[in-house]
Amino acid sequence: MELNEAQKQVDEWIKTIGVKYFNELTNTAILMEEVGELARIMARKYGEQSFKESDKNHDLADEMADVLWVLICLANQTGVNLEEAFTKNIEKKTKRDGDRHKNNLKL
């Protein structure tokens, strides 16, 4: 699925099932909450923290999808075309960092 299609699908879901978008500030707070849930799983699965009993049914992919969902909501609300923005972002990084990582002795 392309990002433009994902944005349309989320918008249709919000309008038919979700009733309406939460406001932008609320969605920003929800995004931070979802990123925190993702970070919790990452810290336990790949970091030094151990899983708690309440973490047993963790689903990394689902947490990533939750982050993407809310980001798409914010993009829809603010008129951002994520596909265009992502393409421009890759171009920016390529131009800026074309040789940077190749010349990094730490890598």
Q: What digits encode the pLDDT tens for the residues 10-23?
A: 999 999 999 999 99
Q: Is 103 within the bounds of a domain?
A: no
Cα 41 to Cα 83: distance, rounded to the nearest angstrom: 28
The pLDDT of residue 98 is above 90 = no
Q: Is 17 within the bounds of a domain?
A: yes
Helix axes 82-97, 60-78, angle to 10 degrees: 110
Q: Is 14 within the bounds of a domain?
A: yes
Domain containing 17 equals 3-82
Q: What's the CATH code of the domain at 43?
A: 1.10.287.1080
In the predicted model, what is the mean pLDDT of residues 76-89? 98
- For residue 101, the model assigns a pLDDT of 84
Q: Is 98 within the bounds of a domain?
A: no
Give me the number of domains the chain comprises: 1
Whether 44 and 90 have beta carbons less than 8 Å apart is answered as no
Structure-token pair, residue 25: 């500030």
CB-based contacts of 45: which residues, under 8 Å, 6+ apart?
A: 58, 60
- For residue 55, the model assigns a pLDDT of 78
This prediction has a pTM of: 0.89
In the predicted model, what is the mean pLDDT of residues 63-84? 98
Residue 58's SS3 state is coil
The pLDDT of residue 54 is above 90 = no
From the list 86, 88, 50, the residue with the least C-alpha distance to 71 is 86
Task: Provide the residue type at 84 as one letter.
Answer: E
pLDDT band at 61 (very low <50, low <70, confident <90, very high): very high
Q: Is 91 within the bounds of a domain?
A: no
Q: Is 89 within the bounds of a domain?
A: no
